[in-house]
């Protein structure tokens, strides 16, 4: 006679999931399976009746290429929900992609920026509940990142995390399972892309799309002076209105990124200035840890090190440390009860 393992049956039916609901990308971790979704937080909808046509990778492929009956949008702005209906639709679209059992009423752990208001937190919880969750827990992004990086945040030791995402940069000093000091600015990867786009418009009278802007940032963007081959950039001439190709140097792109990079460095300094002396001593010894997609900008660790005089390290897996930490919390809710909101 076979014995039914009830906990495993319940897990299969519930399909508990952890979600990093980011401005740029959404990542979903399923209990027992790890990361099952890593796609852009983008939705394509009908302008006539708001019907969702595509989400994630499929919607990103349509960015800048839709006809007048379709619109491609990012339902999250600056780390928070800007369009509730589209966020719900996107979340449900992603959950359909992971083939959750129809009977499933999962528990969800969703991470939120540490600077969000109570109203914004409630909006995220509501979105999870409308996606058929039976319980929704929230966790602050820097705390999730610290857990994902492998830090033991329960100890009386100061760690500082700088999470440069798409919509926000989160800086937090963490000790004893809590955030001691924090600084959140709504300047991150998206602002960098916008700065590059505006630079071409103002300096070269060339119109480029945000996708091209992001590609330029990733290929030759930097926070410090570096040697790199010039790249060819295609766009539309704002004077003649016809397509045009120009060559730009990495030095130009560094100039374009100067303001958002400076804003991030100043935010790190403000957070350090608010840190109690005992924890500041820990940070000086252990260093600043960078994570998030923005931490991959060439030289950003170097410029923060130079201006703060504190060691800086980029985490091993900066793009997934938040969802990894959120997933670890999901796998052991009892152990991490103290960090849940």
The CA distance from 311 to 177, in Å, is 23
Q: Alpha helix (H) ranges present in 53-169?
A: 57-61, 84-97, 118-130, 141-149
Mean local confidence (pLDDT), 144-172: 95
Tens digits of residue pLDDT in 85-132: 999 999 989 988 887 765 678 899 999 888 788 998 898 899 889 888
Tell how many helices (H) and how many strands (E) occur in the chain.
12, 18
Instruction: Kindly state which CATH superfamily the domain 6-143+322-339 is placed in.
Output: ATPase, nucleotide binding domain (3.30.420.40)
Q: pLDDT band for position 173 (50/70/90)?
A: very high
The topology (CATH level 3) of 189-256 is Actin; Chain A, domain 4 (3.90.640)
Contact residues for 65 (Cβ-Cβ < 8 A; gap 6+): none
Q: pLDDT band for position 4 (50/70/90)?
A: very low
Residues carrying CATH 3.90.640.10, the chain: 189-256
Mean local confidence (pLDDT), 10-15: 51
Q: Check residue 305 and give its pLDDT.
A: 98
Q: Check residue 146 and give its pLDDT.
A: 96
- Quick check: 70 pLDDT over 70? yes
Alpha-carbon separation of residue 41 from 94, 98, 107 (angstroms): 10, 16, 21
- The closest of 224, 193, 223, 220 to 209, measured between CA atoms, is 193
Q: pLDDT band for position 14 (50/70/90)?
A: low
Mean local confidence (pLDDT), 57-85: 90
Q: Which CATH number fits domain 149-187+259-316: 3.30.420.40, 3.30.559.10, 2.40.50.180, 3.40.50.300?
A: 3.30.420.40
Give the mean pLDDT of the chain. Answer: 91
- Quick check: 13 pLDDT over 50? no
Q: Determine which of 72-81, 201-210, 264-273, 291-300 has the lowest per-residue pLDDT on average.
A: 72-81
Residues carrying CATH 3.30.420.40, the chain: 6-143+322-339, 149-187+259-316
Q: Determine which of 61-70, 162-171, 259-268, 277-286 has the lowest per-residue pLDDT on average.
A: 61-70
pTM over 0.85: yes
27-38 exposure pattern, b = at least 16 Cβ within 10 A, e = fewer: bbbbbeeeebbb
């Amino acid at each position: 006679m076979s014995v039914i393992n009830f906990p495993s049956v319940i897990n299969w039916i519930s399909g508990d999931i952890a979600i990093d609901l980011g401005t740029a990308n959404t990542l979903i971790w399923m209990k027992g399976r790890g990361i099952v979704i890593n796609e852009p937080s983008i939705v394509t909808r009908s302008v006539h009746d708001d019907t969702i046509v595509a989400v994630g990778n499929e919607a990103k492929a349509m960015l800048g290429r839709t006809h007048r009956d379709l619109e491609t949008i990012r339902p999250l702005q600056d780390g928070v929900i800007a369009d509730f209906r589209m966020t719900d639709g996107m979340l449900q679209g992603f959950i359909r992609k992971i083939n959750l059992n129809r009977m499933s009423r999962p528990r969800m752990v969703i991470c939120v920026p540490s600077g969000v208001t109570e109203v914004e937190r409630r909006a995220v919880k509501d979105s999870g509940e409308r996606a058929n969750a039976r319980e929704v827990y929230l966790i602050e992004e820097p705390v999730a990142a610290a857990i994902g990086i492998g830090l033991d945040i329960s100890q009386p030791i100061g760690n500082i995390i700088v999470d440069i995402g798409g919509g926000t940069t989160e800086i937090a000093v963490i000790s004893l399972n809590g955030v001691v000091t924090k600084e959140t600015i709504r300047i991150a990867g998206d602002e960098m892309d916008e700065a590059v786009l505006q630079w071409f418009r103002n300096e070269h009278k060339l119109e480029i799309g945000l996708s091209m802007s992001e590609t330029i940032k990733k290929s030759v963007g930097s926070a410090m002076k570096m040697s790199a081959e010039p790249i060819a950039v295609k766009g539309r001439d704002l004077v003649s209105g016809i397509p045009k190709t120009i060559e730009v140097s990495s030095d130009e792109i560094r100039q374009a990124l100067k303001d958002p990079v400076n804003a991030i460095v100043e935010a790190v300094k403000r957070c350090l200035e608010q840190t109690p002396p005992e924890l500041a001593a820990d940070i000086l010894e252990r260093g600043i840890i960078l994570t998030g997609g923005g931490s991959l900008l060439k030289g950003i660790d170097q410029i923060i090190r130079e201006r703060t005089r504190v060691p800086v390290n980029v985490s091993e897996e900066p793009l997934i440390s938040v969802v990894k930490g959120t997933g670890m919390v999901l796998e052991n809710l009892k152990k991490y009860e103290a960090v849940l909101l």
